[in-house]
Structure 1
Amino acid sequence: MVRTFPIRIAPLPGEALDSWLEALTHRMQVRYGDVLQDLDLSARTKHKSRNPDVPNDWTIALREHEAAGIAHATGTDQSVLHRMTLMRFQGRALLIDSETRQVNRKRLWGRGSGSRYCPDCLADSGGRWQLTWRLGWSFACLRHGRLLADLCPKCMRTPRQMMFSRDGLPIPGRCGSWPSKRAEPTSGCGHELSTTRTLRLAEDHPALTAQRLVLETIDADRAVFGLYGRLPQPASVALSEVRAVAGRVLANITAPKLSAWVPLDILDADAASHDSGGDPQRKTLIRPGFMAPPTASTTAIAITAALRILGTKSRSAAARAMRELIDSCREGAEKATVTTIVTWGRGTGPVLRSIQLAALGPTLRPGDQLRMRTSAFPARERADELQLNSRARALPSVFWTAWQVRLSPPGVYSRVLAPAWAAATLLVGSGLTMNAAAAMLGSVTDLPTVSRLLQLLQERQGWDAATVALDRLADFLDESDIAIDYERRRRLDYRDLLPSTQWTGLCRTIGYPAGGELRARVARCVLFHRISALPIDAAPGFPATEQTPFRSECERFIEVRPAEIADALDAVAREFLATQGAEDEPVVWNPPIALLDGIDLPGTDPADIDIAHLHKLVQGRRYPARFAADALGSRIETIRDVLTEHPAPMAPKTATQARATGQRMRVARQLLPEHELRRRYLDEYQSAQSIGNAYGITRAMVARLAGEYGIPMRTVHHRRYDDIDREWLVEQYVELRRTPGEIAREKGTSISVILDRAHAYGIPMRPPGGGSHAAHLRKPSDQNADQGAASP
């Protein structure tokens, strides 16, 4: 049973467990071994035998029963005691084997034993030691602005590397390292460590900045400095990356070149520490940075230099600095390639990987830059087969024009480049060959074409910006539900799309000249390209010869077609998609242009075009895109993209133009639809003339409408008597006193037909002439009265 101590001392904030126990021992003025024996912390029994359950350095970790015993004896809370051991930093700044209570020296720069120290802090605290001084990451005192000391300047040993003599009385602030065999074994070195001299650092010294960032990361267990601000990482990951870079700095940057990485005063202090002959653990320099550097100055150099890369907020600046380091590695025996840089350290994460890839990017071919995602931040895992198949379904064979005009530098042929952009997007983060990528998108391009174009783009301005855009696009396509399944669009049968009769009827309805068969084929190919996102020359009916003139006609059609035709063609496209089971898809779709925000792209932005002004410029032009591009200082492809999505409306026509282009017929169709003409002409047997009179159009226009609607016209000599019966004719002619002409107009026939029917039915006819007709309009009773008044 552990007894309680008569004197108690509270631990200082951040104090190490062994420092506190030594201070407690000194206050009670007893042997150190007695205190340890009472607390069951002595590694030796009373008979000098080794106790295997108690480590030589329990400042690394305490068992629960050990902490309970100390708490009982000293009145200190167990949680406080645990925080006074290195377990406080477990998984953040070091790794400890919980079974053996040993620090892993090969990971996270763990120190197995010993402690650095700040002489000023020892003087201020009465010789009490901070726990953080035992970390391999500690090299400077932020409070006093100086490097930590590594050794006792008298005995030239690392303090606290061995436990203070159990037979002695610890004196806080004095070196407790065991002396040589010639000295008193229980007294220790005894040097006053507060008098040790180390390098003083200015408040804004890069080494102090580096030390503060590292300690803040350890304390928060989260790195948010530099590029980690964009992608925070656990402390263990960030420190593993610092260790990986720092190790390469120590191993590959020669002394003359280090002055470009760290201040000279640190380099001078490091040189002095090596010249002093007291450099501890010199064997660690065989693999610099693999384990914690042996001195504070070397640690300061390594971490300050590493944070020149990892501590910057600019990925491009970090990549430039990393490129210097990689070049230094290559000057030595170490290779630095995409595959070898992953061996720089265990436990690293996406931030370092992203910087490494960005640094290596300029040395890679364009396709490999896309595959390795050298522009992505953070670095991504390679896309698997399922992910690539999904992305292929989300990609058109011909790249979206709205994106292409923004990504492409001037002087590159857009028709050939469009399939290359699509294939390049599929390459992002993949292990695909260019041929495989092209095949997944319909084989509309091939390896030589894609490779040649990507090389050309790399030589032109804007390639780096374009790779950033493709990275963002690939992520968006992988993470989003895309409105169109382009793989299905590539497989549809387009042979029955927009037959000539449908095109003619569409134009007739709108009042747009349908042209001949050439224009119908052009419209069909343009609509095929809009729906399928395949090259226009893959359309059914695209000519095998004279392709260039036909392709030019297709481009011009896109430029000059009015909004009314564009809307009608989209309606045809929607009907076609519905018949193919794709009624839930839009005709066209584009990824959000907002994905390109903040990227300095070499192309032109269609959003800069004033659409209303553009429509005025293109009205009546034979080659509107070329004229507007010259007038606006833009590119033809950009103007064509705007006109594709925002076609100009049809210009108002003069009366002559309206007649020439069928404008009056379009009005006639609206006034007299098919069902109405069928009712009047077939069901009611009205004549074309009477129908035309009713709607204010000519008989010839009625006849043209009948032809369009498939209504057979009656011949000139056609007579129809069966609907003119005797009773009805007597009622109309005799009783209602109507003229044959009036009856004929109602029946849509001629006066002679009415007269023939009256004669056949034996109906007496009135004498011809206006006066006779007026007289016969009177009733018979009125006529008799007149006769009676006239008789004598």
Structure 2
Amino acid sequence: MTGDVNTVPLRAAPIDGESVDSWIEELARRHRLSPSQLLPALGLPERARSIHRLIKATPEESWRRMECVAGMPEGGLRSVQLAGQAMRMTLVGGGTRFCPVCLGENGGRWLLAWRSNWAVACTRHRLLLLDSCPSCARTLRVYLPGGTEELPPGTCAYQPQHRSTRCGTDLAALSGIPAPQVALEAQDWIDGLQRDADRNGDLDSAITLDELPAVAYWLMGHEGTDWQARAAELAPGRARTTLLVLNGRLPKADAPLVAVVLDMARTVLGADHEAGVAAVRELSSGRRTRTGVVPAGMNFHRWKTMKGPFPNRFLQSIDTDMTPMDRLRFKSPTPQAGKPGNRTAETRGRHIPHLIWPDWAGLLLPLRSGFRSELFRATAATCLLIPGSSERAYRDLTTHFNRRVTSAHLSVLLQSFGDLPESGLTDVLAAFCRIADYLDTCGSPIDYQRRRERIPAHSLITWPQWRDLACEAGFHPGKSPRDDQTARGRHLHAQRHLLQLLTGADLGVDGHRFGFTGSSDHSRYVTFTHQLTLPLRSALAGHAQRILDDLEIDEPVTWSPPLDLAHGLTLPGALPSTLDTTTIRRIVIEDQRPVSEAAEVLGVHVEHVALALQHLDRPERDWSPRALPQSWKRRQAMPRIATRDFFEHEYVGANRTLHDLAAETGFSRSLLAQAARSHKIPLNKGKAPAINDPAWLRDQYHGQRKSTSTIAEELGTTQMTVNNALHRLGVTPRPPGIHSSEQMINRLDGRLAKDIRAAVEGSLGGWERLHRFQIAMVFPTLKAAAEHLGIPPRTLVVQFQRLERDIGAEIFVRSTGGTPQQPTKRGRRLLDHLEKPHIRSQMAKSIADHELDRLAEHQAAAAQQQFPRPRRSVSPFTEIPVTRLRITAAMLALLKDLMTHSDGECYGALVIDRLKRDPGNIYEQLHRLQAAGWITNRVEDDASWNSRATPGRGPGRRRTYYRLTSAGRDAILHEIARWPTRRRTRERAQSRTDG
């Protein structure tokens, strides 16, 4: 290029930090030219007179040409070029500020840094930069001066139209304005950011400089701050400017005004995070945010692309003003608050089970709440998808993860945390955010999505595997499934336990292969998990690891995020390890009481006790010899004991029978026989039946009414031998089943009282009913007797009704009003008979002696019972023409159901299905309502009755239909309105009694 370009004769090198326009002006001054006259020689077009365009838009080849023309080595202007291109925010209008002292010291050379909008003070001379010429009030150096005259250095080159003279003010001779400390600190902050961004390549500093204009404009829009007054404090006497938006850019502002804005921005964006959040909170108060949590007055697209500290601090400042869902999505309760990123919920969902990890469930589940534990765990797990999610449609978010959980569940759960007595919503949200951030940064050793796709198709555990695991751990495996049936009972629960252990599956989802069929099925599964012993849990965990190995999944069986993530947070739940395990063991394991009782005593949720039980061992149950765990253990020990040598020595050599060997080893004769056959040991044939006399057998079987087992025991043979003899000798066998039992067919001594024989003969449990009648008659009421015996009162009612039906007479008078129950004359005679020794001896054959000896203990307990005070009679209605009844909670539920379906008829089975109540109770209440005139009834007609008949069978019993009367409807409305007042009255009375 040097061969094609003519160089100028005189040279001028740029000084450190000089702007290119100032260097061109100095070069022109050396040649006694104006800058515009030198531009063609430098190869610059006429439009290069615009200094902003000269700095920012000069092409690369033009810079190299200028170097050649000026006689500079290649790259001599590289620093000037790069510095101009790196300027982030120039003054509005393309002008420059200046320090008069610096201008005088460097011979009128203009620095590039003065063209920055953030240049407000000279830190060297501690002066505020001047924005314009004090004589003409014009912004300086927007264009290179035109004309042909030479310009003195450091003077104002402004030339008004239609005038031949320029302003010519000597700017270097002006006196500067001392810069307050606020302006100097703001300038130091800006200079530090630019130095770190340009020289050290610090990305955070570069981002802060890029986003500073948007933050500065947002600050200027704060109506509660008088920026003009603050600027006047820095430069008294300054002219007031207007803060107007110019195409979304900062308004034209002088150095004092920019300095006070930078001072505030230094707090908002500075290194002190807490001070920045506090400042943004104060500035945001009273300013409504836009949809999507965008700061009021800030461009949405600018906000969306911001990556600096401002979004984090702004979101933290408005944290408590957002909905819980938005707080969670933007992670505003945490220092990591920010706009949602590009990470989808599906990516994080692969590391999250459908039911949140047990230890985190214990920490998050409130100690006292009405949360259903599994729905809570499912909803809490779904909450982990929300932090930082780019999806605002929470309905789609939940559908793709767990279709059981809806957006309404999420909202209700978060609102419930906020409604707790000591609100822990902020800490709960922080915990969710910390777990989500941990999963995003550190990941998880378990890919739950892969497990959810592959493990449900696995058989999990077969019946033989479950039986062996359970029996080895001393746990009964339950009933075995038939060949044509799938798993059921405890086998099914074991499969569910393994599935939840491996995948965290939510079995409450409709249509799940292992899902619950109803509330009772769910309750049985929960009871099963509570009863698992530590050895069995360990065995199931080992089996789960084998399942993973079969599927070639190299992962641990279970895992959960570290509990250290909850450090410093006050969560509403508790870890199982912090509970009183001694109390839990005493109540649940030793006393065999419900888990709910332990939870009530400790003041915690049932789920917390259930989680604690997973770490408590239960003593191994002492099973009977015939129970499956014991028989399984015997089968396992059989190969070690019942060897071929054993049979050859004991059975063949010592000529002992299988019966003797069974008594010695504890193995059954059938197992020993099976083992002997496996060792090819020939078995001895049994003795021929010794029963050959049909008359004797007929007398024993029909005459004396002995059972075949009793006859076999007396003869020393097997029951099957006696059964075969019955058929062989032509003795007619009795009907099979319970009707052939000794209690049903035996007859008592004819000398016993007639009522005793009627109550016992031909029935099961006759002596037990008579003994309970003895006990009940020493108590004032049947209810008191039932509570003492630990049985429902209705059980005694049914048993005594059976006694009266068998005897054929009433044996006691029920308690009514203020009169306790009393035996009738017939009942007193029956009690007297039961006290006689010979009848007592007969009773002892069916009832243990220690139970008979406790009659004195029952009498002592009855003596402490007080007959309840008689209830006041129910006052009649004054204006409703029906008999008023006493309303209980059960009766109220029935009345509300009748009122809900008052337009039609109903029948007993329909009401039972709607209320899920005891049939006897429902029919009794309906009869009372009909007798009192609240409802009417009619018997089903023939057409309806016959239409319900099953093909090939009769129609069954007729239905009785009930309809609410008009007066009954009025009575129900009266009782429903009065019920809350009655309940509060009872509660106050109870509190006075307790006090």
TM-score normalized with structure 2 length: 0.55
Say whether residues 1:338 and 2:293 are aligned partners: yes
1:310 corresponding residue in structure 2: 269
Say whether residues 1:485 and 2:480 are aligned partners: no
Partner of residue 38 from structure 2, selected from 32, 36, 39 = 36
Q: Which amino acid aligns with 1:67?
A: W
Contact kept in structure 1, 2:598 and 2:609, CA below 8 Å: yes
Partner of residue 83 from structure 2, selected from 69, 82, 88 = 88
Q: Which amino acid aligns with 1:467?
A: L
2-side partners of 1:629 and 1:397: how far apart?
25
Contact kept in structure 2, 1:677 and 1:706, CA below 8 Å: no
2-side partners of 1:708 and 1:194: how far apart?
123
1-side partners of 2:223 and 2:201: how far apart?
29
Q: Which amino acid aligns with 1:338?
A: V
1-side partners of 2:258 and 2:69: how far apart?
39
SS in 1 for 2:558: coil
2:551 corresponding residue in structure 1: 582
1:712-735 deviations in Å (ceiling 9; x for gaps)? 7899994299xxxxxxxxxxxxxx
Closer/same/farther in 2, CA of residues 574 and 335 from structure 1, 3 Å limit? closer
Say whether residues 1:444 and 2:404 are aligned partners: yes
1:762 corresponding residue in structure 2: none
Contact kept in structure 1, 2:331 and 2:337, CA below 8 Å: no
Contact kept in structure 1, 2:368 and 2:605, CA below 8 Å: no
Structure 2 counterparts to residues 316-335 of structure 1, below 5 A:
318-327=276-285, 329-330=287-288, 335=290
Q: Which amino acid aligns with 2:324?
A: P
Partner of residue 510 from structure 1, selected from 473, 487, 502 = 473
Partner of residue 219 from structure 1, selected from 191, 198, 204 = 198
Q: Post-superposition shift, 1:424?
A: 1.6
Say whether residues 1:553 and 2:527 are aligned partners: yes
Closer/same/farther in 2, CA of residues 541 and 471 from structure 1, 3 Å limit? closer
2:537 corresponding residue in structure 1: 566
Contact kept in structure 2, 1:606 and 1:639, CA below 8 Å: no
1-side partners of 2:350 and 2:99: how far apart?
63
Closer/same/farther in 2, CA of residues 446 and 272 from structure 1, 3 Å limit? same
Q: Post-superposition shift, 1:343?
A: 1.9
1-side partners of 2:19 and 2:669: how far apart?
101
Query: Which protein, 1 or 2, shows the higher relative CO under an 8 Å CA cutoff with sep ≥ 6?
Result: 1
Q: Post-superposition shift, 1:593?
A: 1.3
Closer/same/farther in 2, CA of residues 652 and 702 from structure 1, 3 Å limit? closer
Closer/same/farther in 2, CA of residues 135 and 493 from structure 1, 3 Å limit? closer
Structure 2 counterparts to residues 219-618 of structure 1, below 5 A:
219-220=198-199, 222=201, 232-233=203-204, 235=206, 237-256=207-226, 266-269=231-234, 272-275=237-240, 285-287=244-246, 290-291=249-250, 293-314=252-273, 318-327=276-285, 329-330=287-288, 335=290, 337-338=292-293, 343=300, 345=302, 348-351=305-308, 352-372=310-330, 374=332, 377=336, 379=338, 381=340, 387-412=344-369, 413=371, 414-428=373-387, 429-431=389-391, 433-460=393-420, 461-474=423-436, 477=439, 480=443, 483-486=446-449, 488-489=451-452, 503-512=466-475, 526-535=497-506, 544=518, 546=520, 550=524, 553-554=527-528, 556-557=530-531, 561-574=532-545, 582-584=551-553, 588-593=557-562, 596=565, 600-603=569-572, 606=575
Q: Post-superposition shift, 1:249?
A: 1.7
Closer/same/farther in 2, CA of residues 702 and 268 from structure 1, 3 Å limit? same
2-side partners of 1:288 and 1:399: how far apart?
51
SS in 2 for 1:455: helix
Q: Post-superposition shift, 1:11?
A: 2.6
Contact kept in structure 2, 1:543 and 1:550, CA below 8 Å: no
Q: Post-superposition shift, 1:666?
A: 9.3
1:189 corresponding residue in structure 2: 168
Q: Which amino acid aligns with 2:535?
A: E
Q: Post-superposition shift, 1:415?
A: 3.5
Contact kept in structure 2, 1:405 and 1:605, CA below 8 Å: yes
Closer/same/farther in 2, CA of residues 167 and 585 from structure 1, 3 Å limit? same
Q: Which amino acid aligns with 1:364?
A: M
Contact kept in structure 2, 1:142 and 1:212, CA below 8 Å: no
Q: Post-superposition shift, 1:115?
A: 0.8
Closer/same/farther in 2, CA of residues 114 and 34 from structure 1, 3 Å limit? closer
Partner of residue 703 from structure 1, selected from 655, 667, 673 = 667
RMSD after superposition: 5.2
1-side partners of 2:673 and 2:232: how far apart?
95
1-side partners of 2:562 and 2:55: how far apart?
58
2-side partners of 1:30 and 1:174: how far apart?
16
SS in 1 for 2:426: helix
2-side partners of 1:16 and 1:449: how far apart?
63
1:242-299 deviations in Å (ceiling 9; x for gaps)? 111211222333444x59xxxx754534784334xxx6xx6x7244971463311222
Closer/same/farther in 2, CA of residues 712 and 631 from structure 1, 3 Å limit? farther
Q: Which amino acid aligns with 2:32?
A: V
Gaps of 5+ in 1: 44-50, 95-107, 224-231, 722-792
2-side partners of 1:346 and 1:40: how far apart?
43
Question: Which deviates the most, 117-126 or 456-465?
Answer: 456-465
Q: Post-superposition shift, 1:470?
A: 3.2
Instruction: Indicate the percent of aligned positions where both proteins have the same amino acid.
Output: 21
Contact kept in structure 2, 1:109 and 1:243, CA below 8 Å: no
Closer/same/farther in 2, CA of residues 342 and 597 from structure 1, 3 Å limit? farther
Say whether residues 1:121 and 2:133 are aligned partners: no
Say whether residues 1:160 and 2:141 are aligned partners: yes
Gaps of 5+ in 2: 481-488, 687-995
Q: Post-superposition shift, 1:452?
A: 0.9
SS in 2 for 1:426: coil
SS in 1 for 2:75: helix
Contact kept in structure 2, 1:161 and 1:177, CA below 8 Å: no
Closer/same/farther in 2, CA of residues 350 and 565 from structure 1, 3 Å limit? same
Q: Which amino acid aligns with 2:133?
A: C
2:54 corresponding residue in structure 1: 58
Q: Post-superposition shift, 1:77?
A: 3.9
Q: Post-superposition shift, 1:132?
A: 0.9
TM-score normalized with structure 1 length: 0.67
Say whether residues 1:71 and 2:67 are aligned partners: yes
SS in 1 for 2:130: coil
Q: Which amino acid aligns with 1:83?
A: S
1:392-430 deviations in Å (ceiling 9; x for gaps)? 444322111222333445434344321111222234414
Q: Post-superposition shift, 1:153?
A: 1.6
Give the total of aligned pairs: 655
1:88-108 deviations in Å (ceiling 9; x for gaps)? 243x433xxxxxxxxxxxxx5
Q: Post-superposition shift, 1:455?
A: 1.4
Contact kept in structure 2, 1:177 and 1:189, CA below 8 Å: yes
1:726 corresponding residue in structure 2: none
1:537-572 deviations in Å (ceiling 9; x for gaps)? 678595745568646624532xxx443111112234
Closer/same/farther in 2, CA of residues 701 and 139 from structure 1, 3 Å limit? farther
2-side partners of 1:700 and 1:71: how far apart?
115
Partner of residue 18 from structure 2, selected from 9, 15, 18 = 15
Contact kept in structure 2, 1:250 and 1:302, CA below 8 Å: yes
